Amino acid sequence: MNLTDRFLQYVSFDTQSDEETNMTPSTPGQMEFARYLRDELERMGLEEISLDENGYLMATLPANVAASEAAEIPTVGFIAHLDTSPDMSGRHVSPRIVQKYDGGDIVLNREGGIVLSPSEFPELLHYVGQDLIVTDGTTLLGADDKAGIAEIVSAVDYLMSHPEIRHGKIRIAFNPDEEIGLGAHKFDVERFGADFAYTMDGGEIGEIEYENFNAAVAKVSFAGRNVHPGYAKHKMVNSMRIANQFIIMLPRWETPEHTEGYEGFYHLTAMEGTVEKTVLTYIIRDHDRDRFERRKKELEHLARKINHEFPDCCTLEIKDQYFNMREKIEPVKYIIDIAEEAMKDAGVTPVIVPIRGGTDGAQLSFKGLPCPNLFAGGLNFHGRYEFVPIPSMEAAKSTIVEIARIVGTRKR
């Protein structure tokens, strides 16, 4: 099975994760997909294949050099996640291939008037002349991260059929629930047994990411008092109005729609309220740890201001989610050098960019497994306009092969 066919098969599985179930994996489709992958890896002849009750699938491609030599070669890992985003349905995905994209509008769904246009998504113009896989406009595609899984499996398949490429022990892993921030929580780093690894979960071709946001979630609750509106003067306390007051106290321009690069933000992700109670949910993001801590302090300051005007109205809960992996990667920066060299050997221009988000690699790095993130090739994740250029997936596969080859020439 070639890489494209493999990817098209993988996106047929509905693996949308769900943060409300409190289970691991959070949805049954992820385990169904993991079992399919386990059977595929067994047919390929990989070793040390394990699938645990939480949906973590691991396997080994043994070294193809002498045992004495293999013992000196670092074990490299490649990781991707099974789930797709809760932001849009991943059920009954109907992908199609746009051959030799001509640079114009792509009609995804004529009945729904859904068009993928370079006027709204100018990055399309980077891929003129290439074959693109797109959706039918009713679901996401699932390149995040089934492209990564397909690339890893296809690279391992290639290495098995090309024994002239000398390599050490290679570990692969596919985990659930990355999209709800839980992908690394039950990942057994010791059992995985790699010296370092790469998540294949990035975006456009050439991207190398080893800096990500520091991240926290905040729940801000406002207590009100409801009385009949005809007799409410000096009695009613409308929690929704107070919540709105809190919202506009935060810096207007420090939101996702006004920031880029290394700029952090406050992002209001949910609000639910009545006169008597309103709850706001924010995510807090910043690459710089000091600025990140100041953002949390700012929320605390605003909560105190609200309570000064409306005593005992506002309560604030802040929970850290993950931290910037840069501090864990810089001491082993050679793994970034390996990735850059591998990309160049695969004909790809490396582009080091910060992740404006999180990755399983960040949490794994803090668990003792240095794990930068590499491109998987997809764009416009989490929605109906998601697409992936086939040459980008092929380049990611080739990059994995080249990393395996380069690591095979090194010693611990």
The C-alpha atoms of residue 98 and residue 353 are separated, in whole angstroms, by 28
Please give the pLDDT value at position 67. 92
Please give the pLDDT value at position 82. 98
Sequence-ordered list of residues with C-beta below 8 angstroms from that of 385, at least 6 positions apart, any chain: 108, 116, 121, 135
Please give the pLDDT value at position 173. 98
Domain over 214-322 is classified CATH 3.40.190.10: no
Please give the pLDDT value at position 412. 80
Please give the pLDDT value at position 181. 86
Of the listed 14, 83, 145, 207, which one is catalytic?
83
Please give the pLDDT value at position 410. 87
Q: Where in the chain is the domain with CATH 3.40.630.10?
A: 3-211+324-407
Of the listed 14, 157, 178, 402, which one is catalytic?
178
The C-alpha atoms of residue 270 and residue 273 are separated, in whole angstroms, by 10
- Residues of the chain predicted below pLDDT 50: none
Please give the pLDDT value at position 359. 83
Q: Where in the chain is the domain with CATH 3.30.70.360?
A: 214-322
Instruction: With H, G, I as helix, E, B as strand and everything else as coil, classify residue 399.
Output: helix
Phi-psi bin for 381: left (phi > 0), alpha (psi -120 to 50), beta? Answer: beta
Whether 83 is a known active-site residue: answer yes
Model's pTM, two decimal places? 0.89
Whether 209 is a known active-site residue: answer no
Please give the pLDDT value at position 211. 94
Please give the pLDDT value at position 411. 84
For the chain, how far is it from start to end, CA to CA, in angstroms? Answer: 35
Torsion, Cα 30 31 33 35, to 10 degrees, reads: 170
Domain over 3-211+324-407 is classified CATH 3.40.630.10: yes
Give the closest residue to 202 by CA, choosing from 113, 97, 80. Answer: 80
